[in-house]
Amino acid sequence: MSAPGLPELALGAAAAWALLALALLALRTRAWGRRTLHAPPAGDAAAGARYAFTKGMLPQAKESVRTHLLSYAAGVVFHTGVFAAFGLLAASLAGVAPGSAPVRIGGAVAVAGALAGLGLLGKRVASPVLRGLSSPDDYVANLLTTSFATLAAVATFLPAAREAWLVAGAALLLYVPVGKIRHCLLFFPARYELGRFLGRRGTFPPAAGREA
C-alpha cells in the first residue's frame, strides 16, 4: 500500500479535529448537571424517550412535517445520501474496488442525496420566508454536504476525482463541530432529554399511542 498523500493526511487531520471537538461538545451537554424536577411524575420517562426516537419521528407525529411532506422526504434522501458518501469514503480508504456493486449502489444513493440537497437549497433561496429565517451557516452547511455527496458519486465512476473528494471531505469535517452540522451529535441528547421530560409529564407518548 502506497504512503498516504496530502489529501489523505488532510482528511485524517480534519477527522481527528472533528472527533475531538464533538467529544468536547458531548461533555459540555452534561456540564450543568441534571435538573431537579419537584413535581410528581405523571408518566413514564423511559417510554417518552422511546417514543421520541421511534413513532415521534414519523410525519404524522409532527405538524410541521405533515404540511411539508415533500421537504421531509427530500431531507431524508439528503441525509441518506450524505451517510452513503461517508460509507463510500470509508470503503475507498479501506481499498475497496471502485467498480464493485455495493460501491456503485452507494454512488447512486449519494447522487440522489446531492440532488435532494440542491433542491432544498433552491427552496431556501426561492422562498422569502426561508431566506428571512436563514443565516450564512445554513448555506455553507448545505453547500459543503452537497458538494461532498456529489464528489463521492463522481469519484465512484471517475477515480480521477478522488483527491477533490477527499479535500471536500476534509473541509466538511473541519466545519462539522463549528456549524449547524454539529446537530449530528447534539440531536441525540436533545431528543433524549425532550422525550424523558415529556414522558415524565405524561405527554409522550400521546394518550392514543401510549403503551399498556
Nearest to 46 by CA among 207, 208, 188, 198: 198
- The CA distance from 132 to 95, in Å, is 45
DSSP 8-state code for residue 62 = -
DSSP for 107-162, written as a single string: HHHHHHHHHHHHHHHHHHHH-HHHHHH--HHHHHHHHHHHHHHHHHHHHHH-GGGH
Q: Work out how many domains the chain is built from and give that number.
A: 1
Cβ burial 117-145 (10 Å sphere, 16+ → b, else e): bbbbbeebeeeeeeeeeeeeebeebbebb
Q: SS3 breakdown of the chain: % helix, strand, coil, rounded to 5? A: 75, 0, 25
Q: Give the integer Cα–Cα distance in Å for 118 and 112.
A: 10
Domain-located, residue 100: yes
* Separation CA 172–CA 108 (nearest Å): 20
Q: What are phi and psi of 137, to 5 degrees?
A: -55, -40
For residue 1, is it within any domain? no
Whether 112 maps to a domain, the answer reads yes
Tell me the residue range of the domain where 131 lies. Answer: 7-20+42-205
In a domain, residue 46? The reply is yes
Decide if 28 is inside a domain. no
pLDDT at 33 (0 to 100): 76
Residue 212: the pLDDT is: 37
Instruction: Look at residue 3 in the predicted model and tell me its pLDDT.
Output: 62
pLDDT by 10s per residue, the chain, length 212: 456 688 889 999 999 999 999 999 988 888 777 788 888 899 999 999 999 999 998 888 877 787 888 999 999 999 999 999 999 999 988 888 777 888 899 999 999 999 999 999 999 999 999 999 999 999 999 999 999 999 999 998 888 899 999 999 999 999 999 999 999 999 999 999 999 999 999 999 987 544 43
For residue 102, being part of any structural domain is answered with yes
What would the grid cell of residue 117 be? 440537497
The CATH number of the domain holding residue 132 is 1.20.950
Q: Is residue 137 part of a domain?
A: yes
State residue 211's pLDDT score: 46
Nearest by Cα to 28 from 190, 192, 197: 190
Q: So what's the pLDDT on residue 2?
A: 56
How many C-beta neighbours within 10 Å does residue 81 have?
Answer: 27
Domain contains 2: no
C-alpha pair distances (Å), 56 with each of 62, 135, 191, 212: 8, 28, 10, 17
Instruction: Report the residue count for the chain.
Output: 212
Rounded distance, CA 113 to CA 59, Å? 20
